[in-house]
Structure 1
Amino acid sequence: MKNKIPNLATSNTMLATVVTFLLLATIITMGMLTPLIAKLANGVDLSLDPGYYNTRSAIPVAALVLLLSTCMLTGYVDKKYIVPVVAGSALLSIIFAVISPFRNTPIDISLPILIVALLATFYRIYRMVSGKQNVATKDKIKKISAHAIHVGILMILLGIVLSSNMKMEGSAILSSGSDEIISFGGQHYQLKMNSMNSYYNGEAFRNYPASSYTTEVIFDIYKDGSYFKSGKVNYITDFKWGQTYTTTYINRGLTEELFIAPRAIDESAGEIDLYMRTVPFINCLWGGIYLMVIDIIALLFTDRGNKEAIHSSNIASEKTIPDAGDNEDKYDRMLQQEIEKRKAKRMKDKR
Structure 2
Amino acid sequence: MKNKIPLLTTSNTMLATVVTFLLLATIVTIGMLTPLIAKLATGIELSLQPEYFNNRTAIPVAALVLLLSACMLIGYSERRYVLPVVGTSIFLSLLFAILSPFGNIAMDISVPVLIIALAATLYRVGKIYAANKNTATSGKIRKLSAHVIHIGILLILLGIILSSNMKIEGSAVLGTDGTGEFEGQPYQLKIIRMESYYSGEAFRNYPASSYTTEVDFDIYRNGDYFRSGQVKYITDFKWGQTYTTTYINRGLTEELFVAPRAIDESSGEIDLYMRTVPFINCLWGGIYLMAIGIIGLLISDRTSAGRTNNAIKRPRAGAEGRYDRMLEQEIEKRRTQRDKRKR
> How does the TM-score come out when normalised to structure 2?
0.92
Name 1:328's counterpart in structure 2: 333
2:191 corresponds to which letter in structure 1? M
Name 2:119's counterpart in structure 1: 119
Q: Provide the secondary structure at the position in 2 that maps to 1:130.
A: helix
Q: Distance in 2 between matches of 1:74 and 1:326?
A: 47
> How do 1:73-152 and structure 2 match up within 5 A?
73-152=73-152
Name 2:220's counterpart in structure 1: 222
Q: Distance in 1 between matches of 2:40 and 2:329?
A: 68
Q: Distance in 2 between matches of 1:132 and 1:191?
A: 54
Name 2:340's counterpart in structure 1: none
Q: Provide the secondary structure at the position in 2 that maps to 1:306.
A: helix
Q: Distance in 2 between matches of 1:34 and 1:132?
A: 49
Q: Distance in 1 between matches of 2:309 and 2:64?
A: 37
Per-residue CA distance 1:160-182 (angstroms, 9 max, x = gap)? 00000000000000112x0x221
Aligned residue pair count: 329
Q: Distance in 1 between matches of 2:141 and 2:202?
A: 61
1:17 corresponds to which letter in structure 2? T
TM-superposed deviation, 1:134: 3.5
Coordinate RMSD, CA, aligned: 1.8
Name 2:261's counterpart in structure 1: 263
Name 1:275's counterpart in structure 2: 273
Q: Provide the secondary structure at the position in 1 that maps to 2:270.
A: strand
Name 2:289's counterpart in structure 1: 291
Per-residue CA distance 1:53-80 (angstroms, 9 max, x = gap)? 1111000000000000000000111111
Selected match of 2:311 from 310, 313, 325: 313
1:139 corresponds to which letter in structure 2? G
Q: Distance in 1 between matches of 2:333 and 2:161?
A: 72
Q: Distance in 1 between matches of 2:216 and 2:45?
A: 41
Name 1:25's counterpart in structure 2: 25
2:333 corresponds to which letter in structure 1? E
Q: Distance in 2 between matches of 1:81 and 1:119?
A: 14
2:122 corresponds to which letter in structure 1? F
Q: Distance in 2 between matches of 1:204 and 1:109?
A: 59
Q: Provide the secondary structure at the position in 2 that maps to 1:265.
A: strand
Q: Distance in 1 between matches of 2:292 and 2:206?
A: 51
Q: Distance in 2 between matches of 1:21 and 1:318?
A: 46
Per-residue CA distance 1:72-109 (angstroms, 9 max, x = gap)? 00011111111011111111101110110111111110
Cα pair distance change 1:249/1:132, threshold 3 Å: closer
Contact 2:27 2:57 in 1 (8 A): yes
TM-superposed deviation, 1:4: 2.3
Selected match of 1:213 from 211, 214, 217: 211
Q: Distance in 2 between matches of 1:328 and 1:10?
A: 49
Does 1:39 pair with 2:39? yes
Q: Distance in 1 between matches of 2:303 and 2:3?
A: 40
Q: Provide the secondary structure at the position in 1 that maps to 2:101.
A: coil
What is the percent sequence identity of the aligned residues?
Answer: 66
Name 2:58's counterpart in structure 1: 58
TM-superposed deviation, 1:2: 5.0
Cα pair distance change 1:205/1:9, threshold 3 Å: same
Name 1:239's counterpart in structure 2: 237
Does 1:199 pair with 2:197? yes
1:77 corresponds to which letter in structure 2? S
Q: Distance in 2 between matches of 1:134 and 1:200?
A: 68
1:253 corresponds to which letter in structure 2? G
Q: Distance in 1 between matches of 2:332 and 2:27?
A: 65
Give 5+ residue unaligned stretches, structure 1: 333-351
Q: Distance in 1 between matches of 2:247 and 2:223?
A: 20
Q: Provide the secondary structure at the position in 2 that maps to 1:92.
A: helix
Per-residue CA distance 1:108-164 (angstroms, 9 max, x = gap)? 101111010000000010011111434222111111111111000000000000000
1:277 corresponds to which letter in structure 2? R
Q: Provide the secondary structure at the position in 1 that maps to 2:131.
A: coil
Q: Distance in 2 between matches of 1:325 and 1:245?
A: 80
Contact 2:219 2:229 in 1 (8 A): yes
Q: Distance in 1 between matches of 2:52 and 2:293?
A: 32
1:136 corresponds to which letter in structure 2? A
Q: Provide the secondary structure at the position in 2 that maps to 1:170.
A: strand
Larger radius of gyration: 1
Cα pair distance change 1:2/1:304, threshold 3 Å: closer
Q: Provide the secondary structure at the position in 2 that maps to 1:229.
A: strand
Cα pair distance change 1:328/1:2, threshold 3 Å: closer
Per-residue CA distance 1:234-271 (angstroms, 9 max, x = gap)? 00000111111000000000000000011111111111
